[in-house]
Amino acid sequence: MITLPQYPNLYLIDHPLIKRDLSILRKKKTSNVVFRTVLFRLTKMIAYEVASNLKLTESDIETPLEKTKGYQLKEDIILVPILRAGLGMADGFLDLLPDAKVGHVGLYRNEETLEPVDYYSKFPRNLKDSLVFLLDPMLATGGSASAAISFIKQKGGRKVRLVNLVAAPEGVDKVSREHDDVAIFAAHLDRGLNENGFILPGLGDAGDRVFGTE
């Protein structure tokens, strides 16, 4: 992973296959079905990298030939996709972390103020003792991500990692400023936001492209 001195909380996942798949998602002509398929594959690769430093517990297991040491994850994992685009990332993570529980946060962006408005949130009971991966393809202004992290903390969550496909500097700044204990993982740090708060060069509205509602 790549770190940048100006963004100490940001970890950029640098891998040739991730760059290839992110390029496919960026293309305007990529169809909805291809977008979903590539998003699953890309998210699975990101999940592999983000999970690289998970803590393990050791136990004795028995192979067909002898006893040896085995390992299992020490912490419970909770995936929290931000509705609705974040749902497109959940399956990739569940494919590698099938025992993870899933919570949800529903937010929409006020088109005039660009501020997030919450309409739904539900989390598993063991939130307090679990490692939470907050999933959202785009980190734009950072308003939705920061609000979602606050909701998780209000419900007792203590360990949160934010996972995005692409991030804008404005969003990284906001989340880092308001939640300096949260690590941000992204496949790419894009140039910035346009006057409507969309990431440039970005990949368009991820929710519309996942669900075909553009």
Element (H, E) at 190: none
Residue 63 resides in a domain:
no
Comparing CA positions, the residue from 185, 186, 189 lying closest to residue 131 is 185
* Chain length of the chain: 214
CATH number at residue 82: 3.40.50.2020
Residue 11 resides in a domain:
yes
Residue 188 resides in a domain:
yes
Domain count, the chain: 1
Residue 202 resides in a domain:
yes
**Read out DSSP for 44-101?**
HHHHHHHGGG--EEEEEEE-SS-EEEEEEESS-EEEEEEETTTHHHHHHHHHH-TT-E
Question: pLDDT of 41-90, one tens digit each?
Answer: 999 999 999 999 999 999 999 999 999 999 999 999 999 999 889 999 99
Question: pLDDT of 156-189, one tens digit each?
Answer: 999 999 999 999 999 999 999 999 999 999 999 9
Q: What is the spatial distance between Cα 8 and Cα 20, in angstroms, rounded to a whole number?
A: 26
pLDDT at position 151 is 87
Q: What is the spatial distance between Cα 100 and Cα 32, in angstroms, rounded to a whole number?
A: 27
- The answer to whether the CB of 131 falls within 8 A of the CB of 159 is yes
- Domain residues for the domain of 162 are 6-53+76-208
Residue 64 resides in a domain:
no
Comparing CA positions, the residue from 153, 118, 110, 147 lying closest to residue 132 is 153
Angle at 75 between CA 77 and CA 92, to 5 degrees: 30
Comparing CA positions, the residue from 111, 39, 119, 47 lying closest to residue 79 is 47
Residue 68 resides in a domain:
no
- The pTM score is 0.92
Residue 111 resides in a domain:
yes
Residue 35 resides in a domain:
yes
